[in-house]
Structure 1
Amino acid sequence: MAKVSAPRSIADQVYEFIKKDILEGKLEPNSRLTQEFMGEFYQTSRTPVREAFRKLERDGLVERMPQGGVKVVAISVETIEEVYGVRAVLETYAVELACERISDSELERIAQIKKNAEAVLKSVDLSKEDKLNELLSLNSSFHRKINEASGNSYLVKILGEMNDSVMLGRTAGLRKNNEWSDIWKEHDKLINYLRKKDKVESAKLMRKHIESAAKNAIAVISRRKKETDKGS
């Protein structure tokens, strides 16, 4: 159980804990959260939980419920299409710039992330949930490092602002080891193209990579919606 502590405000800590659980899929779409329950869970009063809910609502991660509390927002197919459409354009541009500007040390850091992911995939000590969370984190780091290697601070900022929606898409669409294995094989190819400074092939692969991720997320979200509609 997570427990809040000083010096950051309790509301900020509760906000970060809940946000992390939403983005990692531990709190599923349409889950109802109440001030009473979350206050007991985090061993704090209702006031910081109320403030955390306000921040999460501002982020578009929860919405108010008439009967009290909030509900985890279910990301829509339309949102995935819009976010991943923009992401495909921007990250394709980022990898093209990275081919021109990436340093040897940046390449090595990106290659190390891939090695860490391969170790996680092979691990027999991690639980399924821990493995998924590690892979999600490493995947985000991999893409962020390529974006940073573009040397374009505005591009990095825009992509960073999209991160929550991208993370929700990743969490929805990537649940199985074989899917992750395929993803890291593509990442390995991207690293090789970056080493060769091959803008054309790196751009083609990045676009294909992101479009495939969007397709997986849309399939899962559509299936969830059908199941929810049947149950209502």
Structure 2
Amino acid sequence: MAQQIANSLAEQIYARVKGEIFDFQLLPGTRFTETELAERYGVSRTPVRDALYRLKREGFLEVAFRSGWNVLPFDFVRLDELYSLRTLLEVAAVEHLCQASGKLDAIEQLRGIWCRPVAKRESDARLVAELDEQFHQRLVEAAGNRELARVHAEITEKIRVVRRLDFLVEKRVDATYEEHGKLLRLILGRKTTEAAILVRSHITQSQKEVRKITLHMLHEAREVLTRRDPKRAAG
């Protein structure tokens, strides 16, 4: 029981720190100690340490002997590589679905969510981001290759927090509905080439938007920090 509580605390702190990094509350270059976070969150240092080392393994933080922790710059090269791998996996899944025989029940179910008139579409950015993630996961799972789905799920976890930024722009929400609906129709129509081209361009455009929004929000956050604390912003 005690171990379960500790694991739960570490998971919560992991999510909070990761969220603060991607909400630009903890900017690249920010330094802090385990003790500072433990006091801020009202917990012991153990779950804080567990959470921070997990974020270190994922490439978000680095630790220096006797000087605490440091938030690393965004690794856009790594994100680009993850998006490229995601594209390969989803194109493979879509091609398999287009060439499959029989009824595609999972795709029919997705149509009920995405092929809707504008007035009945979701508009909350966070909810749309969750629905979008589920759409792509279910698309890959429908292909029936468990290893493909497993690797895709790992990539989804690694890009989740930046990916949600895509839906802060209203036009991207509308574009997502339109493109998801079109992709489903192409799969059901067994249009392999057209479906593969669409899913590739769909992911590429999302990737470009995420990078642009991330850079913009990072710039704005630095300006705010500079006005509040010039020394910290310079560090």
Q: Same fold (TM over 0.5)?
A: yes
**Residue number in structure 2 paired with 1:62:** 61
Match of 2:10 among 14, 19, 33: 14
Deviations 1:109-138 (A, max 9, x none): 3234437995421xxxxxxxxx32222211
Quote the Cα distance in structure 1 between the aligned partners of 2:126 and 2:2: 26
**Residue number in structure 2 paired with 1:126:** none
Provide TM-score, normalisation by structure 1: 0.76
Mapping for residues 1-232 of structure 1, pairs under 5 Å: 8-19=4-15, 22=18, 25-26=22-23, 28=25, 29-30=27-28, 34-64=33-63, 67-71=67-71, 73-101=72-100, 103-114=103-114, 119-121=121-123, 131-223=124-216, 232=234
Work out whether residues 97 and 151 of structure 1, in 8 Å CA contact, stay in contact via their aligned partners in 2. no
TM-aligned CA distance change 1:79 to 1:87, over 3 Å: same
Give every structure 1 segment of 4 or more consecutive aligned residues whose post-TM-superposition deviation is greater than 6 Å: none
Provide TM-score, normalisation by structure 2: 0.75
Quote the Cα distance in structure 1 between the aligned partners of 2:16 and 2:112: 24
For these two proteins, the number of residue pairs brought into alignment is: 218
Q: What's the secondary structure of 2:74's corresponding residue?
A: coil
Quote the Cα distance in structure 2 between the aligned partners of 1:54 and 1:153: 29
Quote the Cα distance in structure 1 between the aligned partners of 2:110 and 2:31: 38
* Identity of matched residues, %: 23
Quote the Cα distance in structure 1 between the aligned partners of 2:16 and 2:157: 10
TM-aligned CA distance change 1:96 to 1:157, over 3 Å: same
Quote the Cα distance in structure 2 between the aligned partners of 1:40 and 1:225: 26
Show structure 1 runs of 5+ residues with no match: 122-130
Show structure 2 runs of 5+ residues with no match: 227-232
**Residue number in structure 1 paired with 2:229:** none
TM-aligned CA distance change 1:138 to 1:62, over 3 Å: farther
Quote the Cα distance in structure 2 between the aligned partners of 1:80 and 1:113: 28
Quote the Cα distance in structure 1 between the aligned partners of 2:79 and 2:51: 25
AA partner of residue 109 (structure 1): Q
1:88 shift after superposition: 1.7
Quote the Cα distance in structure 2 between the aligned partners of 1:163 and 1:141: 10
- Over the aligned positions, Cα root-mean-square deviation in angstroms equals 3.3
Deviations 1:159-178 (A, max 9, x none): 12212333244134442122
Work out whether residues 95 and 199 of structure 1, in 8 Å CA contact, stay in contact via their aligned partners in 2. yes
1:65 shift after superposition: 5.4
Q: What's the secondary structure of 2:168's corresponding residue?
A: coil
Q: What's the secondary structure of 1:64's corresponding residue?
A: strand
1:139 shift after superposition: 0.9
Quote the Cα distance in structure 1 between the aligned partners of 2:31 and 2:109: 40
TM-aligned CA distance change 1:38 to 1:27, over 3 Å: farther
**Residue number in structure 2 paired with 1:128:** none
1:19 shift after superposition: 2.8
Q: What's the secondary structure of 2:68's corresponding residue?
A: coil
Work out whether residues 166 and 172 of structure 2, in 8 Å CA contact, stay in contact via their aligned partners in 1. no
AA partner of residue 122 (structure 2): V
Work out whether residues 95 and 147 of structure 1, in 8 Å CA contact, stay in contact via their aligned partners in 2. yes
Q: What's the secondary structure of 1:145's corresponding residue?
A: helix
Deviates more, 1:174-183 or 1:159-168: 159-168
1:143 shift after superposition: 0.3
